[in-house]
Structure 1
Amino acid sequence: MDVNFRLLPINGEIVIVEDEPLLRELTREILSEVGAECVAFSTADDALIHMLTSDTRCALIIADHGLPGQVQGAELAELARGRWPETPVIITSGWTDTFIGLPPAAHFLAKPWSLEELVMAVANLLQPGVPPTETSVDTPRQ
């Protein structure tokens, strides 16, 4: 898969929480391809444990709202905001943002999203005012 954008270096990793395996892997692959270090989890419970025990800074959380386990996406956003207020959160769902009741600092990305919408949402949060640099679609994979 070729994405024709690159992000500037990101300080930390992007934590992806998505219970659908194919979408979780696609999200991780897309963001890795544009230059982000990513870790991916199927539950917010596992992601929260990772964030609490990891030495790596969490630069961004992208979480589906409807997840198995004890913690839903919007709840993860609220917990993260309390512990790491500077960490941006994107909640993604097929439901509407008003139905979910997003916390004030969370951003919403409606499913189904396009590759470009995902990359632009990440770029806008992590590098506001700096558009992703375009790369050739024919760039060989490393």
Structure 2
Amino acid sequence: MNITAHVPPAVLVVEDEPLIRMEAVDMIEDAGFKVYDASNADAAIILMELHDDIGILFTDIDMPGSMDGMKLAAYVRDRWPPVAIIIASGKVDLKDMHVPEGSKFFPKPYPTEHIAQILGDIAKQLQLA
């Protein structure tokens, strides 16, 4: 009998501040997820194209490069609709922003235990889909 456990989706962390990115990667790995990380949207898109196990995008909004985190989230929503999106920011007021449908937003600093719980919930939903 061959029984395989469901492997949770990988998470792509996109954050331009190295220390914050490392903390986020550690937090998500500690929650049991495989993690890829990128410092900007351009690198994130390359990783999305290379790794089909990415099921969750965890992105900051305020980033340098060709697009910020909101534009990246919209691009990922259009190109990879099944990918769950979590957006975090310490500077942005969401009232003036268009968040892609189904996305979750967390202000920084985000509560580690809450992020881990949300990731687990998203992983369960993705495995049921």
Per-residue CA shift, 1:80-116, capped at 9, x if unaligned? 1111111100010122322332122321111111211
1:100 and 2:97 matched: yes
Listed as ranges, the gaps of 5+ residues in structure 1 are 1-7, 129-142
User: If the length of structure 2 is used for normalisation, what is the TM-score?
Assistant: 0.84
User: What is the rounded CA distance, in whole Å, between the counterparts of 2:63 and 2:52 in structure 1?
Assistant: 24
Q: 2:106 aligns with which of 93, 103, 109?
A: 109
Give 1:51's aligned residue.
48
CA deviations over 1:9-43 (Å, ceiling 9, x no partner): 30x31100011111100110111112100011110
Equivalent of residue 122 in structure 1, options 119, 122, 126: 119
- Which of 78, 82, 87 is the aligned partner of 1:86? 82
Segments ≥4 residues shifted beyond 6 Å: none
Query: Does the Cα contact within 8 Å between 1:96 and 1:110 map onto a contact in 2?
Result: no
Task: Kindly report the root-mean-square deviation, in angstroms, between the aligned alpha carbons of the 2 structures.
Answer: 1.5
Matched, 1:66 2:62: yes
Count the aligned residue pairs.
119
Of all paired residues, the percent bearing the same amino acid is 28
Structure 2: state its 5+ residue gaps: 1-5
Which position in structure 2 is the counterpart of 1:134? none
| Structure having the larger proportion of residues in helix | 2
1:39 equivalent among 16, 36, 40: 36
Offset at residue 123 of structure 1 (A): 1.8
Distance in 1, Cα, partners of 2:95 & 2:7: 33
TM-score, structure 1 length as denominator? 0.77
